[in-house]
């Protein structure tokens, strides 16, 4: 058991990576604001159903908090987009991946034909591509 080793829990790998801190802070803020907006909306409906004089101020505050909640949800989206632009995933274009697959298939064909005893076809490899050094 992990208690004997001094650890309370072990971390298991998950399928999705953890959200960046600014995005998570914006998301928590948005969830709290949306919860308050929903509570105020329910309160406004109940006060209006009870014909209370507090229904008008409750309705105004519910409308105001729904605008603020919309702004908070948009803030999560914008913060996520900005984070992805600044620190996002580095990816290569699909054309580079296609060229790498094509080269791997050529090497595989050459290895198969060498195993059969036939000489491999001569393939032109452009010298301006960075992966020509490994061939």
pLDDT of 11 strictly over 80? no
pTM given for the model: 0.55
DSSP states of 110-132:
HHHHHHHTPPPPP----TTSGGG
- DSSP run (H or E) holding 42: helix 21-49
Per residue in 49-66, pLDDT (tens digit) is 999 999 999 999 999 999
pLDDT band of residue 8 (cuts 50, 70, 90) is: confident
CA distances from 121 to 49, 109, 118 (A): 84, 9, 9
pLDDT at 112: 84
CA angle 67, 71, 73 (to 5 degrees): 115
Per residue in 16-28, pLDDT (tens digit) is 777 888 999 999 9
Question: What does the mean pLDDT of the chain come to?
Answer: 82
pLDDT at 117: 77
Find out whether 120 and 106 touch, Cβ atoms under 8 Å. no
- The whole-number average pLDDT for the span 27-50 is 96
Highest mean pLDDT among 13-27, 86-100, 112-126 belongs to 13-27
Count the residues in the chain. 135
């Amino acid at each position: 058991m992990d208690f004997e080793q001094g650890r309370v829990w072990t971390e298991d790998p998950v399928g999705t990576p953890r959200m960046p801190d600014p995005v998570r802070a914006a998301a928590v803020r948005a969830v709290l604001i949306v919860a308050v907006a929903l509570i105020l909306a329910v309160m406004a409906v109940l006060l209006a159903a009870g014909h209370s004089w507090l229904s008008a101020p409750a309705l105004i505050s519910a409308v105001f908090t729904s605008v603020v909640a919309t702004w908070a949800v948009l803030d999560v989206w914008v913060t996520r987009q900005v984070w992805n632009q600044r620190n996002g995933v580095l990816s290569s274009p699909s054309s580079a991946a296609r060229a790498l697959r094509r080269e791997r298939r050529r090497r595989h064909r050459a290895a198969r034909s060498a195993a059969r005893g036939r000489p491999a076809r001569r393939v032109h490899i452009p010298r301006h591509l960075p992966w020509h050094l490994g061939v």
